[in-house]
Amino acid sequence: MRNLKLSCLCLVLCAFCCAATTSSDSDDAARIIQTALQPSAIQSNLRQLSDEVGGRVPGTPAMDRAVEWGVQKLKAAGADSVHTEEFTIPYSWAEGATEMSISATGTAPDRNPTKIPKVEFRVRCVSIAWAPALAPVKHVPVVDVGDGSTDEFKKAGDISGRLCSCIRWC
């Protein structure tokens, strides 16, 4: 009997709670669920930042474009207050027109130019980020350091002022 009374009381309370839920609460819940089920803009935002805006190294025009893009996106999303803050960065860096070509003319131990075939080719290269700019140099010796191991560098000796050619298979 006691269990029957307790069950009836629970049933009445549940009915009362369900009746107390306003339609606006149900509407809000349905709206939130519907919004959550919509496609996300994450993939589109990533594509825009990566493909259209590009690299965002501080102090570069690409960084300025990225900041403006972010401000516009936050405003479009309805943010209450969107603003930027200035800061100073002492140095900036961006990859420029780094070029290199290799010429083997006159580098063989046999100094007889008729026996030495001329070999020239361009090399794909990049500048090291944040490295200081270097003056163009017409001739820099190239040292082969094999796979770049410590032993290969020891065999190469003093590499000061030389470019190191390294083949490392990952």
Q: How confident is the model at residue 14, as a pLDDT?
A: 58
* Mean pLDDT for all residues in the chain: 76
- 3-52, pLDDT tens digit by residue? 555 555 555 555 555 555 556 677 888 888 888 888 888 888 888 888 88
| pLDDT at residue 60, rounded to an integer | 76
pLDDT for res 110: 56
- Quote the pLDDT of residue 81: 93
List helix spans (H) across 121-161.
Answer: 150-156
Question: Among 13-27, 69-83, 91-105, which stretch is predicted with the lowest mean pLDDT?
Answer: 13-27
Q: How far is CA 160 from the centre of its chain?
A: 32
| CB burial of residue 145 (10 Å; 0-12, 13-18, 19+) | buried
